[in-house]
Amino acid sequence: MGIFNCASGNSIWRGLDYYKGKKVVSYRKLDDFRYEGKVNGSHEKVYHVLLDTKHPRRSKCDCPHADGRRVVCKHMVALYFTVFPDEVDRFLKEVEEESIEYANYEKELYQKTMKHIKKMSKSELQAALIHIFDIGPEWIYDDFVRSYVEFR
Ligand SMILES: [Zn+2]
């Protein structure tokens, strides 16, 4: 089900908060993939949500964020998690796996970069350093001057 591909990260996390806060007042199943529900919003407003799990962008909500637009809002996400509570763990596990994957990628890239730096010649390293001073923020140059030039 592609609801997470259609929703912004913000809507997903806020929707999860709404689910945990039991903001979904009631819902009913309309057919195999559509649900209708009432979700408590901020300022004691109740929003009417039509959740289409097959075509998430056809979902509807009368909140200011989603009304008249083809976006997935936090109320739709809250309703989705209420109808499919098992999806909460699956979603959180997926996020965790992605962040582990990303951390591994960053670690690998760092090791690759260090290996490459050790192979660079003196003139290549000098050119790279000057390039960093040219494009980097001022503090990098200032820090270099303080650490390696002024007090030597
Ligand atoms: Zn909404």
pLDDT tens, the chain, 152 aa long: 589 888 999 999 999 999 999 999 999 999 999 999 999 988 889 999 999 999 999 999 999 999 989 999 999 999 999 999 999 999 999 999 999 999 999 999 999 999 999 999 999 999 999 999 999 999 999 999 999 998 76
Query: How much distance in Å is there from the Cα of 89 to the middle of ligand 1?
Result: 23
Contact 39, 46 (CB under 8 A): yes
Look at residue 16 in the predicted model and tell me its pLDDT. 97
Task: Assess contact for 96 and 40: CB atoms under 8 A.
Answer: no
pLDDT of residue 152: 62
Do 70 and 8 touch, CB atoms closer than 8 A?
no
In angstroms and rounded to an integer, the radius of gyration of the C-alpha atoms of the chain is 25
Ligand 1 centroid–CA 113 distance in Å is 45
| Predicted local confidence at residue 43, as pLDDT | 81
CA of 71 from ligand 1 middle (Å) equals 9
Q: From the CA of 90, how far away is ligand 1's center (Å)? A: 23
> How many angstroms is it from 45 CA to the middle of ligand 1?
11
The CA distances from residue 25 to 5, 8, 21, 65, 90, in Å, are: 25, 23, 11, 20, 23
Whole-number Å distance, alpha carbon 56 to ligand 1 midpoint, is 13
Cα(11) to centroid of ligand 1, in Å? 9
Residue 2's pLDDT is what?
83
Task: Give me ligand 1 centre to Cα 54, in Å.
Answer: 18
Q: What is the helix, strand, coil percentage profile of the chain, to 5?
A: 60, 15, 25
Cα-to-centroid distance, 8 and ligand 1 (Å): 13
Q: How far apart are CA 60 and CA 50, in angstroms?
A: 5
